[in-house]
């Protein structure tokens, strides 16, 4: 694989497994876009500075407090060709998302107080609660 000559290839997902991994990456991208649309693209990239009167706790945010971080990590982990450079990027990216999430949580607790603390008790930090997801889909 001459494309990966600058980094050791740790594994290549064989056959249909690579297609499944690409499909999971596509699902992650679609969910990331839906989360960005829900929060506002301008807010996310820093063009809009208006502070919301309440934090978003519906949609994917009702299943995991940091869906952008979770699905970005999922996207990186589902790469069907894992090189040593990609693995390092995935590990460092995940550490960055966890650290950023903790810093963001501190700011949100200061901004929204008790409402955010209750949200923290109800919704997991970084790994979605799939039981809540199934329940919300069934009850819709």
Tens-binned pLDDT, residue by residue, of the chain (140 aa): 455 568 899 999 999 999 999 999 999 999 999 999 988 877 666 676 655 567 888 889 999 999 999 999 999 999 999 999 999 999 999 999 999 999 999 999 999 999 999 999 999 999 997 776 655 544 44
Provide the pLDDT for residue 140: 43
Place of tokens 């949580």: 105
Where are the domains positioned within the chain?
A: 12-130
Q: How far apart are CA 125 and CA 34, in angstroms?
A: 19
C-beta neighbour count of 2 within 10 angstroms: 4
Provide the pLDDT for residue 137: 45
Nearest to 104 by CA among 48, 61, 138, 137: 61
This prediction has a pTM of 0.83
Q: How far apart are CA 118 and CA 89, in angstroms?
A: 34
């Amino acid at each position: 694989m001459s494309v990966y000559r600058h980094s050791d290839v740790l594994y290549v997902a064989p056959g249909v497994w690579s297609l499944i991994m690409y499909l999971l990456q596509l699902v992650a991208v679609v969910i990331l876009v839906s989360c960005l649309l829900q929060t506002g693209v301008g807010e996310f990239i820093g063009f809009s500075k208006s502070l919301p009167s309440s934090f978003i706790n519906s949609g994917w945010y009702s299943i995991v407090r940091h869906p952008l971080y979770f699905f970005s990590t999922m996207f990186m982990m589902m790469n069907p060709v894992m090189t040593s450079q990609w693995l390092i990027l995935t590990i460092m990216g995940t550490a960055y998302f966890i650290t950023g999430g903790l810093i963001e949580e501190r700011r949100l607790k200061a901004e929204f107080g008790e409402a955010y603390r209750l949200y923290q008790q109800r919704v997991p930090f970084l790994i979605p609660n799939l039981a809540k997801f199934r329940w919300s889909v069934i009850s819709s």
